Amino acid sequence: MSTVDKQLEDVRATIDEEVPNRITISDVTYEGPELVIYTRDPKEFASDGDLVRRLASKLRKRITVRPDPDVLTHPDTAEDEILALLPDDAGVSDMEFLADTGEVLIKAEKPGRVIGRRGETLREITKAVGWTPDVVRTPPIESPTVSNVRSFLTQERDDRRDILERVGRQIHRDPMSKEEWVRVTTLGGCREVGRAAYVISTADTRILVDCGDKPGERTEQPYLDVPEAIGSGASSLDAVVLTHAHLDHSALVPLLFDHGYDGPVYCTEPTRDLLGLLTLDYIGRADSAGRKRPYETEMVREAVKHCITLEYGDVTDIAPDVKLTLHSAGHVLGSSVVHFHIGDGLYNVAFSGDIHYDSTRLFDGAVNEFPRVETLVLESTYGGRNDYQTDQDDSERKLKRLVSDAADADGTVFVPVHAVGRAQELMVVLEEAMRDGDVPEMPVYLDGMVWEATAVHTTYPDYLRDDLQSRIHDADRNPFLADQFTPVEGGDEAREEIAARDEASVVLAPPSMLTDGPARTWLKLLGEDPDTTLTFVDYQADGTLGKRIQKGRSELSVDGETIPLNLRVETVDGFSGHADRQGLENFVKTMHPRPEKVLCVDGSESATQDLSSSLYHDYNLRTFTPENLETFRFV
């Protein structure tokens, strides 16, 4: 008998002692980080609201209870009984019954009305029909991405269960070594912006944090083929943890599966869905540009299938000697500061990912309070000594002035923008400005993935600021449903027709650095127009076309033809999703507890060195500016 089987046998004995005799337990197994209890008496289980809590406390594990399929009420009857238990204003739009897990997925406009006070209505549903309810919000904007991901995971539920059981056994195995040490190896993202990838290792475990590309340098990948990563075989990695879905952190996660990785990817639920959206677009843009695909679509599906989603604040075992907790990073939807607790109090490491310290229109500021942190791996995108951004109010005033100038000249404000995050921030600002009469009403064209990414945001309003959540829940006040927002449909022909119109307008088009895609097409169409204002609101990495134009480039070469750039060029830097120099310092200064060591990464060489020097002199911290392929031992 394996140690995991023996452990499960002991767990089963404890459960049998705690559970009343009238409740039959048919199976106990690990599925990912959770202990899953299968029972023939789900209604009895649900009747004791504290039973699961008592078991979780005694066993010190996250517990899910599932019914055996043959004791479930028929779905047709169950649906009628569930609807009878729910208030009419819950707005139930659909139910999906998953017989293999005994779950019923309930889609509702008001999930809280389905859940009830302290989950009381959920327990009543299980008591009545046996099925375990899982409630999701019916989004105000239907997202094909979210629907496709959920449908795909339903279709792949047998494979998913096999994956989760395998991962569960790996997590709960006995430690193989008595040695205690912690190392971080840098595979990318050091003294550069992009291709973020870091390995945190112990004597028993190896975890990859992020796996991104480098903006403007599609051939530069993280150093994945070294022994610390997958050079000794992809199976040497125990887990991947994804801070957020932007491509400079996520683009090459599917490539891992192409190399044979078959383990879990831990992230938030919106990050999982955005990973699918952005990496499929990544492949599509490679096709359009005539570049070799980095991987096939099947690898994107594999990555999504292996995602294990976590909520902010949940402490989760991901290896025998590692616990993971995700905290809001304030950067983009679902972005996380990831915290690792290693060993039995041995060491703690936090990776900031990309952070925004202050609150924005979309998100509250990044969380920087933890039980313990000895080492912080900190992004440094705006870490340079002069990287101070204007505050939000000044940035919004400047943007509104540019839009008003465009209205006076029947011109266009063209904003190359991240489809995820910055586009939605601008939408909220523009909707309010037009509603309040601060700028004239005009069409705001949303190109590329902007509309779909917006739909994903409305699917997960709980990840947004409270005031924005309440507006999204009210169809009459939802800023993303404003009449002026018009998705661009019809490809280049539609873009040409819009560009030829004699009207004031705003165009939001990805990517933010003008490397390719719709934004590059808009630059070609509008480049010679002096009434167009090219407005940068995102970071422009060295070597990208956006950076060259920002520095003064005055022409564009397209298919051997030179197009003069007569448009006006402006930068409105307060909309960045990254903390500026002051924000990064404040994040560390107010961090509780303050770390002993800080590794400054994900910034240019000068930015990382400037930030490192400042943190050392001002806060007496041991700071480092790693190069790629360095290893740091902490214990």
pLDDT above 90 for 70: no
Q: How does strand 597-601 pair with strand 375-379?
A: parallel
For the chain, state the CA radius of gyration. Answer: 25
Query: What DSSP assignment string belongs to 141-198?
Result: S--HHHHHHHHHHHHTHHHHHHHHHHHHHHHTSPPS-----EEEEEEE-SSSSS--EE
Predicted confidence at residue 60, as pLDDT, reads: 85
What per-residue confidence (pLDDT) applies to 298? 97
Q: What is the pLDDT of residue 353?
A: 95
- 37: helix, coil or strand? strand
Report d(CA 534, CA 512) in Å as an integer. Answer: 11
Supply the mean pLDDT for the chain.
91
Grouping H, G, I as helix, E, B as strand and the rest as coil, residue 117 is helix
| pLDDT tens digits for range 472-512 | 887 789 999 999 999 999 889 999 999 999 899 999 999 98
| pLDDT on residue 52 | 86
Place of tokens 């496709």: 148
Q: Give the mean model confidence (pLDDT) for residues 401-419.
A: 93
Q: Which among 367, 360, 366, 545 is positioned nearest to 457, based on CA atoms? A: 360
How confident is the model at residue 629, as a pLDDT?
A: 96
**Rounded to 5°, angle at Cα 70 from 65 and 72:** 65
Distance, in Å, from the CA atom of 523 to the CA atom of 501, rounded to the nearest integer, reads 16
User: Which residues are paired to 63 by β-bridges?
Assistant: 35
Residue 182 one-letter amino acid: V
**Torsion 599-601-605-610 (CA) sign:** negative
Query: Phi/psi of residue 619, each to 5°?
Result: -125, 5
Alpha carbon separation from 321 to 180, 357, 576, 623 (Å, rounded): 10, 30, 37, 26
Band (pLDDT 50/70/90 cuts) for residue 369 is very high
Residues composing the chain: 635
Q: Enumerate domains of the chain plus CATH numbers.
A: 3-70 (3.30.300.230), 74-138 (3.30.300.20), 180-386+578-633 (3.60.15.10), 392-575 (3.40.50.10890)
**Highest-pLDDT range among 225-234, 492-501, 561-570:** 492-501
Distances (CA, A) of 231 to 180, 226, 235, 306: 23, 5, 10, 21
Q: How far apart are CA 323 and CA 387, in angstroms?
A: 35
Tokens of 491: 């490809």
Bridge-partner residues for 341, per DSSP? Answer: 323, 348
- What are the tens digits of pLDDT across the range 142-171? 899 998 998 898 889 889 989 999 999 999
Q: Has residue 557 got a pLDDT over 90? A: no
- Contact in structure between 108 and 137 (CB atoms under 8 Å): yes
Q: What does the block give as tokens for 64? A: 């899910």
| pLDDT (average), residues 63-73 | 84
Q: Residue 92 corresponds to which tokens in the numbers above? A: 């139930």
| Residue 454, pLDDT score | 96
Residue 69 confidence class, pLDDT cut points 50, 70, 90: confident
**pLDDT value for 2:** 82
> What local confidence, expressed as pLDDT, does residue 217 receive?
62
Burial (CB < 10 A; 0-12, 13-18, 19+), residue 190, is buried
Distance, CA of 293 to CA of 8 (rounded, Å): 44
Say what the pLDDT of residue 558 is: 66
Task: Round to whole Å and give the CA distance between 37 and 45.
Answer: 11
Q: Is 597 exposed, middle or buried (0-12, 13-18, 19+ CB in 10 A)?
A: middle
Q: Are 454 and 141 in contact (CB under 8 A)?
A: yes
Q: Mean pLDDT lowest for which of 116-120, 292-296, 376-380, 414-418? A: 116-120
3-state secondary structure 61-115: CEEEEEECHHHCCCHHHHHHHHHHHCCHHHCEEEEEEECCCCEEEEEECCHHHHH
Encoded tokens for 275: 């990973």
Q: What secondary structure, in 3-state letters, does 397-457 show?
A: HHHHHHHHHHHHHCCEEEEECCCCCHHHHHHHHHHHHHHCCCCCCCCEEECCCHHHHHHHH
CA distances to 147, 151, 325, 532, 590 from 266, rounded to whole Å, are: 20, 20, 10, 43, 27
| pLDDT(464) > 90 | yes
Contact 121, 99 (CB under 8 A): no
Confidence band of 45 (pLDDT split at 50, 70, 90): confident
Q: Which residue reads 């899982």 in tokens? A: 134
Give the per-residue pLDDT at 559. Answer: 65
Given this model, what pLDDT does residue 96 score?
85
With CA atoms as reference, report the closest residue to 492 among 511, 530, 519.
519
pLDDT mean over 366-377: 97
Which one is predicted more confidently, 306 or 17?
306
What pLDDT, in 10s, does the model give residues 333-364? Answer: 999 999 999 999 999 999 999 999 999 999 99
| Distance from C-alpha of 418 to C-alpha of 290, rounded to nearest angstrom | 22
Higher pLDDT, 350 or 105: 350
The structure tokens listed for 276 are 């699918």
Name the token pair of 502.
Answer: 């004699």
pLDDT for residue 219: 67
Would you state the pLDDT for residue 218?
Answer: 61
Residue 592 is given by DSSP the state B
Residue pair 383/584 in contact (Cβ under 8 Å)? The answer is yes
**Number of Cβ within a 10 Å radius of residue 213:** 25
Per-residue pLDDT, averaged over 212-222, amounts to: 80
Average pLDDT over residues 122-148: 89
Is 355 in contact with 578 (CB distance < 8 Å)? Answer: yes
Q: pLDDT (tens digit, 9 = 90+) per residue, 532-545?
A: 999 999 888 888 88
